[in-house]
């Protein structure tokens, strides 16, 4: 088994995050610094920063309604609050599946299942995420068409997105935006590219699974039905 998959099954992090740990020399196999792509067998002594890791026979899955003002990292070098502080005591060694930026609210999954995290976040799987977006002022049909067909970010066009107008008043416009990429601050940057400022951003769905009545800042375990749904997307 490849070392990144093994670490993911141990609940260390997603495969991509494990690749970073390996590349930075944090991982050893039988006392030697591991290499990217290295194979691991049951019985090998695998450590991360000197701590032994073992494959897990079962996994944990949690859903959070992330409030703004928290970063989606285990630790923060700027001493900001992290989403890990909101997890219940005894939740175990979990990591967030993907990220929401500091000022974004909404649906955030946590697990120790690295394979599921990989499936939900890798661009090739095109898992849809839907956001509630509130912008200042109005938006024209031409601007909506640009957003739907693709916006150039960092020299590369975004994939097509689905956008639905929810409401318009004298000051603000609300929309639902569905994308299946995960570029850094993608939704905010897409709207900025057409001259629109987002004043509120909340992820409300992953696939067809939503937050339900979960209050801001609250966390709960996923139901068996939700776990089945996510693992079969």
Same domain flag for 202 and 133: yes
Say if residues 113 and 97 touch (Cβ distance below 8 Å). no
d(CA 62, CA 171): 36
**Residue 107, Cα to own-chain centre: how many angstroms?**
9
Same domain flag for 65 and 85: yes
Angstrom CA distances, 219 to 148, 179, 186, 225, stand at 33, 24, 25, 17
The mean pLDDT value of the chain amounts to 92
Same domain flag for 213 and 202: no
Same domain flag for 106 and 159: no
d(CA 179, CA 66): 19
d(CA 27, CA 114): 16
Same domain flag for 70 and 107: yes
**Which of 202, 201, 198 has the alpha carbon at shortest distance from 136?**
198
Annotation says 49 is catalytic: no
d(CA 41, CA 146): 50
Could you tell me where the beta strands, DSSP code E, fall in 53-193?
A: 61-66, 95-97, 105-111, 129-136, 152-153, 156-157, 162-168, 172-179
Same domain flag for 213 and 115: yes
The yes-or-no verdict on residue 43 having pLDDT over 90 is: no
Handedness of CA 75, 118, 8, 215 (dihedral sign): positive
CATH of residue 215's domain is 3.30.70.580
Structurally, how many domains does the chain consist of?
3
Residue whose pair of structure tokens reads 């390996």 in the numeric block = 22
The pTM of this model reads: 0.78
**Which of 124, 131, 3 has the alpha carbon at shortest distance from 66?**
131
Structure tokens at 82: 């992290």
Cβ-proximal residues to 22 (8 Å cutoff; 6+ apart), any chain: 3, 4, 7, 34, 35, 36, 38
The yes-or-no verdict on residue 138 having pLDDT over 80 is: yes
Residue range of the domain that includes 173:
128-206
Same domain flag for 217 and 108: yes
d(CA 122, CA 142): 31
CATH of residue 159's domain is 3.30.70.1560
Query: DSSP letter at 223?
Result: P
Looking only at the bridges linking them, the beta strands covering 51-52 and 129-136 are: unpaired
pLDDT mean over 98-115: 94
Same domain flag for 11 and 48: yes
CATH of residue 28's domain is 3.10.290.10
Residue 105 pLDDT: 97
Which helix (DSSP H) or strand (DSSP E) does residue 146 occupy? helix 141-149
Which residue out of 44, 76, 101, 103 is catalytically annotated?
101
Same domain flag for 144 and 189: yes
> Which tens digits make up the pLDDT trace of 147-206?
999 999 999 999 999 999 999 998 999 999 999 998 889 999 999 999 999 999 999 999
CB count in 10 Å sphere of residue 152: 11
Confidence band, pLDDT 50/70/90 cuts, at residue 56: low
Same domain flag for 119 and 214: yes
Same domain flag for 201 and 219: no
């Amino acid at each position: 088994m490849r070392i990144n998959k093994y670490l993911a099954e141990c609940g260390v992090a997603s495969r991509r995050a494990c690749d970073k740990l390996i590349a930075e020399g944090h991982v050893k196999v039988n006392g030697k610094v591991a290499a990217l792509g290295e194979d691991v067998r049951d019985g090998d002594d695998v450590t991360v920063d000197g701590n032994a890791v073992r494959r897990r026979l079962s996994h944990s899955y949690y859903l959070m309604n992330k409030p703004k003002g928290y970063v989606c990292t285990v630790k923060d070098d700027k001493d900001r609050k992290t989403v890990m502080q909101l997890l219940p005591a005894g939740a175990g060694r979990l990591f967030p599946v993907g990220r929401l930026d500091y000022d974004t609210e909404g649906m955030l999954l946590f697990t120790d299942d690295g394979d599921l995290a990989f499936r939900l976040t890798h661009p090739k799987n095109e898992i849809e995420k839907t956001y509630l977006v509130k912008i200042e002022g109005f938006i024209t049909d031409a601007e909506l068409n640009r957003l739907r067909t693709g916006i150039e970010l960092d020299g590369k066009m975004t994939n097509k997105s689905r956008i639905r107008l929810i409401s318009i008043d004298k000051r603000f416009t609300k929309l639902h935006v569905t994308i299946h990429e995960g570029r850094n601050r993608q939704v905010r940057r897409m709207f900025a590219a057409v001259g629109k400022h987002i004043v509120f951003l909340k992820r409300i769905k992953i696939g067809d699974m939503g937050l339900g009545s979960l209050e801001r800042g609250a966390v709960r375990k996923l139901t068996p039905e939700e776990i089945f749904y996510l693992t079969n997307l």
